[in-house]
Amino acid sequence: MGYGAFMHVTNNRSNPILLFITDVTCVYDNGDQGSDLSLFNNATVPATSQLPASGNQYIEARNSGNCFLAPSYFTLKVEDQRNDAIIGSVVFEESSDNWGVSSNSNNDVIDVDIDNSGDQARIAVTVEATS
């Protein structure tokens, strides 16, 4: 088992957004160890709402077998559902019991707040409205 995080995505836009998870490496999924990163894959987040609708989804880095001492990471891609325009993507990485962002293609619109101070990290992603 590795370091886990409670994650949610908030859509502050007036239109729905689509989320996609790609490039998953060394992260438990589909309920394994309680982790369900797939909740955010091919998911629609309605305007001015959050996924999951209340609370957070647990995700966990895998720190055994081929993943022992290797970083865990995944990419969250965000699109505008109206026109399939790519809003941006964020690469999340867990290393040494800390989750972080190794790249964010649109810092002005996709805000990421990560708190690694607890037994489990907290990851809040907010897709901001544009003016």
- Residue-wise pLDDT for 65-119, tens only, equals 899 888 899 999 999 999 999 999 999 999 889 999 999 999 999 999 999 999 9
Residues 37 and 123: their CA atoms lie apart, in Å, by 12
Model-wide pTM > 0.85: yes
CATH architecture of 4-127: Sandwich (2.60)
Residues 13 and 27: their CA atoms lie apart, in Å, by 29
Token output for 74: 């995944």
Whether the Cβ atoms of residue 94 and residue 87 lie closer than 8 Å to each other: no
| C-alpha separations of 98 from 11, 24, 122 in Å | 25, 17, 10
Average pLDDT over residues 46-63: 96
Question: Tokens 């790249």 belong to which residue?
Answer: 103
Extents of the domains making up the chain = 4-127
